[in-house]
Amino acid sequence: MNKRKELSFKSTAYLLAAVVALGIGLATITHADEGENRDRGRENRGPGNGFFNLFGKFDLRAPDFRVRIEDDNDVRVRGATVTATSTSGFTATSNTPPFTFNVQTDSSTKFEIKGSGRGSIADIAVGDTVNFRGVAVSDTTSTVTVKATNVENKTAHPKSPKTAGQVSIKGTVESVSTTAGTLVIVGRNGTTTVSVSGTTSIKNDEGNTLALANLATGSEVKVSGTLNASTQVFAAAKVVVEDDDDGDGIRAEGVARFIARLEALIAQLKLRFGL
């Protein structure tokens, strides 16, 4: 008698799921018959009275989202959007259909970050698109709590500037402040504030020592030092003012040579065609 009620209840649930699937346009729900082993598995893997556990085996697909739950509550989700983060996990949602996943992570969770490789929970941010796998430890009508074993962040983030050891940057001097002991340079990575101290070496490319006041706006410089990640100020150990006169001379010489060749070609054409 109880078996008939259980089967009748599952049939009703499947009918409801089919209506939901038609409503979102693209969904597939499959079912596998369970026996006594399923009940024992639920005791070890999670609760047995939630929405997903009504189906035992659940597979739903939408154009940009997929959730799959096996008989043993193994969960695989692709294309969820992160809406909140913490040091112990994150919350992710889907729009169609509207599901919410409370994802728990710990030291055993493996993170794969797009563009960076291995990562951690610190690499997950609100708005990121994530895939994850784990075990459903609880669930309600539209919310599932998952203990994650694997998390893949599909959103790439710019890498933070290197701070360990000395690095070099190049750019054009935009402004100089002898009072503050700083200069602002503009380079390929944008605008950088450079801090100059009494120990900073400032020289031209011929090796002559200069003072900060000698640096003129528009000068090309190469700065070696370290970047303070919190203040984003570059502490200079060495500043070299690059002389671009040679470069201008080379460019001028090249232009003159081109004009001379062009004039010679015009003269040949005039001679050939009698112009």
pLDDT tens, the chain, 275 aa long? 444 433 333 343 343 344 344 444 433 334 334 444 444 444 445 444 454 544 456 778 888 888 888 878 899 999 999 999 999 999 999 887 788 999 999 999 999 998 878 889 999 999 999 999 999 988 776 788 999 999 999 998 766 555 456 788 999 999 999 999 999 999 887 889 999 999 999 998 878 889 999 999 999 999 999 988 778 889 999 999 987 554 454 455 556 667 777 777 787 777 777 76
Helices (DSSP H) in 27-77: which residue ranges?
A: 36-45
User: What is the structure's pLDDT at 206?
Assistant: 79
Contact 237, 223 (CB under 8 A): no
Contacts for 36 with CB less than 8 Å, ≥ 6 apart: none
pTM > 0.75: no
The CA distance from 227 to 23, in Å, is 54
User: What is the structure's pLDDT at 1?
Assistant: 47
User: What is the structure's pLDDT at 254?
Assistant: 58
Residue appearing with tokens 């609760």: 47
The CA distance from 53 to 72, in Å, is 9
The CA distance from 32 to 63, in Å, is 24
Tokens of 163: 């701070």
For residue 3, which of 25, 30, 35, 27 has the smallest C-alpha distance? 35
The CA distance from 57 to 31, in Å, is 5
| Residue 15, amino acid | L
Dihedral of CA 236/237/243/247: which sign? negative
For residue 127, which of 162, 104, 156 has the smallest C-alpha distance? 156
User: What is the structure's pLDDT at 229?
Assistant: 76
DSSP assignment letter at 194:
E
Q: Which superfamily is assigned to 167-243 in CATH?
A: Nucleic acid-binding proteins (2.40.50.140)
- Helix, strand, coil percentages, rounded to 5, for the chain: 25, 40, 35
